[in-house]
Amino acid sequence: MTRRVSTGLLKLDAMLGGGLLPGTLTVVYGATGIGKTHLGLTFAAHGAAADGARGIVLDMNGRGDSQQHDEYAARLFEWKLTTWTHTVTPMAAPYPPPDQMDALYCNALRWLGRVRDFQVPTPDGGVEFDWNWKASYNHALYTVRPFMYFHFAAGTRRVVVDGVEPMDSPADSIQFFMFDELYRKVVHRDAETLGMEICLPVWKHRAFIDAHRYDHEAITTLLLVTTEETRLEDLLARKVATGDIGATANTIVVMGSERLGSRLARMLCVIKHRGSPMSDEIVEYRIGSTGFELT
């Protein structure tokens, strides 16, 4: 396992007064192609040196196009990013095959659009989720929940969620709904409880559950959100709308572009960071041969 440490990430850690705090959520906002995926993969790969295990990547991209996670990981970190496919339905054999413990990428949640697109009216005038969608979503969770649980049990302490698309009203986004559900009910669920929900019947798997408890408050999550705004100034002026997960995040980072003389530069700024000192600098960064690089 290559344990190359990105100097760009180290400089960002310095801007954050020592880095992202364990157990917190960081939201990174920026337009398509600005370098969010590079930053996310750098953060996940750095887990090998910082935590003893690389982070996991949940790709919520529902457009069908590739965000090149595997190509970036291979080129920058000599990391073969393979896809988790192991599904655990109730009472099924829970343990993943050995090769799946090297699969740190999952793309089982591929829904885009507004929450109401997945809802139907009820006789009393309300709305509820369509039963067909709920069945498909719950089946996807049979893949995503074990993906997180077994990697957390094995030592992973970093989660990168990518592929979140822009939405005029974040409260209407099915992607924000799914992320919020996962963050509250999986990422930060007590390890024993989550293990008992996945490894059924519990009496049969009690020894494994007890031997693989972990502190969910030590898991750090990085959520990468695509915006329509491309310029840094517009991102700095962007208001956090109702339902936007950034309102409750511990840390917010924005990545945008600005004209510098005859060239277009990529700029980054930390605009929110609770719990430790942070820099108010606006700094330039590049996506170079070694990935994310602060200049």
Tell me the three state secondary structure of residue 167.
Answer: coil
When pLDDT is cut at 50, 70 and 90, the band that residue 2 belongs to is: very low
Can you point out the beta strands (E) in 171-250? 220-226
Element (H, E) at 193: helix 191-198
Per-residue pLDDT band at 287 (split at 50, 70, 90) = confident
What are the pLDDT digits (tens) for 94-116?
999 999 999 999 999 999 999 99
| Mean pLDDT of the region 73-94 | 95
Could you report how far apart the first and last alpha carbons of the chain are, in Å?
A: 27
CA distances from 283 to 59, 66, 70, 224, 257 (A): 27, 29, 28, 19, 11
pLDDT at position 6 is 62
What's the pLDDT score for residue 277?
A: 86
- SS3 assignment, position 214: coil
Determine the pLDDT at residue 1. Answer: 39
Instruction: Please report the pLDDT score of residue 5 as a whole number.
Output: 52
CA distances from 247 to 25, 73, 165, 170 (A): 11, 30, 17, 11
For the residues of 5-74, what is the DSSP string, one character each? PPHHHHHHHHHTTSSPPTT-EEEEEE-TTSSHHHHHHHHHHTHHHHTSS--EEEE---SS----HHHHHH
Q: Which two tokens stand for residue 156?
A: 């992973």
Secondary structure (3-state) at 105: strand
Residues 6 or more apart whose Cβ sits within 8 Å of residue 23: 188, 216, 217, 218, 219, 220
Window from 13-17, 136-140, 152-156, 192-196 with minimum mean pLDDT: 13-17
C-alpha 148/C-alpha 194 separation (Å) is: 10
How far, in Å, CA of 220 to CA of 9, rounded?
A: 15
The pTM assigned to this predicted structure is 0.94
Does domain 7-294 match CATH 3.40.50.300?
yes
What rounded mean pLDDT belongs to the chain?
A: 92
Does residue 150 or residue 242 have the better pLDDT? 150
Q: Residue 66's pLDDT band (boundaries 50, 70, 90)?
A: low
Specify the pLDDT at position 232: 95
Task: Give the C-alpha separation, 216 to 292, whole Å.
Answer: 28
DSSP state of 169: S
> 55: number of CA atoms within 13 Å, CB side?
29
pLDDT computed for residue 212 by the predictor: 97
Q: Element (H or E) spanning 251, and its range?
A: strand 251-260
Q: Which two structure tokens, joined as six digits, stand for 51?
A: 């935590």
pLDDT mean over 219-226: 97
